[in-house]
Amino acid sequence: MSLRSFLERMEAKKEVLHVEDEVSTRFEVPFIIKKFDKEASILLFEEVKNYKTKVVANVCGNRKRICAALDIGHDELYRRLMEAWRSPKKPKIVGDGAVKEVAEKPDLSKIPVLTHFERDAGPYITSAVIYAKSVEGNVENVSIHRLQVLDKKRLAIRLVPRHLFKLWQMAKEAGEDLDMSISIGVHPAVMLAASSPVPFGVNEFEVANALLNDNLNLIECKHVDAYAPADAELVLEGRISATKEVVEGPFVDITGTYDIERKQPVVEVMGVMHREDYVYQALLPSGAEHRLLMGLPHEVLIWEAVSKVVPKVYAVNLSVGGSGWLHAIISIEKQLDGDGKNALLAAFAAHPSLKHAAVVDSDIDVYNVSDVEWAVATRFQASKDLIVIENARGSTLDSSADQETGLTAKMGVDATRPLTKPREKFERAKIPASERAETLVRKLLGL
């Protein structure tokens, strides 16, 4: 249950595109990943200039592949994730693992870390799964953070005020640096678990183990008090400094715009472990994979919350145009007028970064933006069906929000048809099909 075994499965399905020509980590690899954002094939860069290591990208590039990684159909995805959040399972701690094949002194310049965008501060590790535990050891946490490479031994870590930030503050209060492991190149289930919005105190490695049917093994790190997946490609052992901070950024985050620069803590790397022929996993900020990994677990939260206020939720889409983070389209079955607005309120409560949400009826395809626009055009009246909430907490990643405080305005659009008017007024008119017309169309299309 490693990234490697998953890539082998995808190779057999012809989902891996091999890039055999030499490319540079500086802009060239990211440029190519970006061009394949829609196709979402896995890209394997075999000849990376100045490095012996191969780079893989777009592993979780579409929903289909995420479902394949969990061995389920799309209609089971939300339920499967929720199950794993509620019933985490302790992974086994093992003495040895593939990641221990090579152990060496830290030298970050030997790792093919990408420089993604024109004005980024430098190379950034973007697929880092970070494990840390509280000083007393009773709280364990796993989350994904961006890491700016400062020199051969030091990184800057962006700590959004969430769980790892809290652990770091607890360590600081105890006057200690925070030990942590940085795992790069792990099975998609581990990436999904690490992006999951489970409460503080839940160890996301246990969520990953539940998703992997008890097949996740962890090893103990040598230089720090931390665990890491035994079959990861690469693990950096590090400490988040209690005292040393640097200016982190600029860096392009999920919206595709530059996030602001902030003072962030320094990570000192104490040791490196990797497989003999490790593959470095890249993840393009604002790319398809970034949107899905960050967004998908929050679709589950929205689906669950809205399910409590209306009889049925058909689908939730944190859409591409909303960067997989700021816009939700939700299709529901409503019983009474007003259900649409309650659904919107539930969605905003479930995903605090959500900025704009639209609720539609079940005949609207939430993944088809033109279809949603049609619903807004024919079923929505701004004077009655619009909610605006001022000065709510939103995402600091939105350039139009107050990026220091995260204060923002939220807008909800209830584009479900009103029950006060006859249903047929809102139905999409059909053209009766004859066999002759259908055959002719197939012929014209060359099918």
Contacts with Mn ion, residue ranges (CB under 5 A): 141, 163
Residue (182 or 306) nearer to Mn ion, CB? 182
Supply 73's token pair: 């159909």
Q: Is 223 left (phi over 0), alpha (psi -120 to 50) or beta?
A: alpha
Helix runs in 129-284, H state only: 163-173, 188-194, 204-211
Closest approach of Mn ion to the CB of residue 208, in Å: 12
In whole angstroms, give the CA distance from residue 366 to residue 357.
11
Residue (1 or 193) nearer to Mn ion, CB? 193
Supply 267's token pair: 């990570």
First-to-final CA distance of the chain:
41
Closest approach of Mn ion to the CB of residue 211, in Å: 15
In whole angstroms, give the CA distance from residue 425 to residue 159.
51
State the DSSP H helix or E strand holding residue 350, giving kind and residue range, or none if neither. Answer: helix 339-350
Closest approach of Mn ion to the CB of residue 141, in Å: 4
Closest approach of Mn ion to the CB of residue 132, in Å: 10
Tell me, yes or no, if 21 is annotated catalytic.
Answer: no
Amino acid making up residue 73: G
Residue (29 or 178) nearer to Mn ion, CB? 178
Closest approach of Mn ion to the CB of residue 173, in Å: 19
Cis preceding-peptide flag for 250 (omega within 30 of 0): yes
Residue nearest to Mn ion (CB): 163
**Cβ contact 301:350 at 8 Å:** yes
- What is the maximum alpha-carbon separation in the chain? 80
DSSP 323: T
Count of residues for the chain? 447
Residue (88 or 97) nearer to Mn ion, CB? 88
Supply 213's token pair: 């049917």
Helix runs in 39-159, H state only: 63-70, 77-86
Residue (163 or 351) nearer to Mn ion, CB? 163
Supply 53's token pair: 């290591």
The active-site residue out of 253, 259, 339, 361 is 253
Residue (195 or 319) nearer to Mn ion, CB? 195
Closest approach of Mn ion to the CB of residue 249, in Å: 23
Catalytic residues: 253
